[in-house]
């Protein structure tokens, strides 16, 4: 079974979500289903069907999180250094627009571009891996080729 690289923060985030689903969300939806059942005819009971659908989603997410966490290989970026690799926080400058962006390269389950968490399998992350400060990388994006210069690499 394939190991999934995660940062310690990513593991904590997923573990917290799993605990919340099991301790709060699951019991709440079970109560909602019980209440909806009390309303009688289940075939035309929209509350019951909505609650069952939500229960299905919650159970699916619990299974997904348990699978991810069981296959997780937690990597502590603070123990790393050197060229860009998993866990690196990379500051880039777009060579066309001079816009600076900062990304941390993380595992797929914890990736969130809005928070600057870049999926290890993304085209930009793959282009950055193995590069050093001062290097330029070119990445094919849906909007065309983009060039970035690596300003700094930090492992926190």
Number of H helices, E strands in the chain: 4, 7
Mean pLDDT in runs of 10 for the chain (156 residues)? 90 97 96 86 81 95 97 91 93 93 95 95 94 94 89 93
146 forms beta bridges with 139
CATH class held by domain 4-75: mainly alpha
Buried b vs exposed e over 122-147: b needs ≥16 C-beta within 10 Å? Answer: bebbebbeebeeeeebebeeeeeebe
CA dihedral 132, 133, 138, 144 (to 10 degrees): 140
Domain ranges of the chain: 4-75, 77-154
- What is the assigned CATH class of domain 77-154? alpha beta
pLDDT at 91: 96
pLDDT of 141: 81
Taking only the tens place, the pLDDT of each residue in 61-87 is: 999 999 999 999 999 988 888 899 999
Q: Is 22 helix (H, G, I), strand (E, B) or coil?
A: helix
Q: Which pTM does this prediction carry? A: 0.82
Q: Residue 36 has what pLDDT?
A: 84
């Amino acid at each position: 079974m394939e190991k999934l690289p995660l940062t310690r923060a990513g593991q904590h985030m997923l573990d917290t979500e799993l605990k919340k689903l099991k301790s709060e969300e699951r019991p709440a939806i079970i109560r909602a289903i019980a209440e909806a059942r009390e309303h009688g005819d289940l075939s035309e009971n929209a509350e019951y069907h909505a609650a069952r659908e939500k229960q299905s989603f919650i159970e699916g997410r619990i299974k997904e999180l348990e699978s991810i966490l069981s296959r997780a290989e937690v990597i502590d970026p603070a123990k790393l250094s050197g060229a860009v690799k998993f866990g690196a926080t990379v500051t880039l400058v777009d060579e066309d627009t001079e816009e600076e962006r900062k990304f941390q390269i993380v595992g797929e389950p914890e990736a969130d571009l809005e928070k600057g968490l870049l999926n290890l399998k993304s085209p930009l992350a793959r282009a950055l891996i193995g590069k050093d400060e001062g290097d330029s990388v070119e990445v094919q994006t849906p909007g065309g080729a983009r060039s970035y210069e690596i300003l700094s690499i930090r492992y926190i």
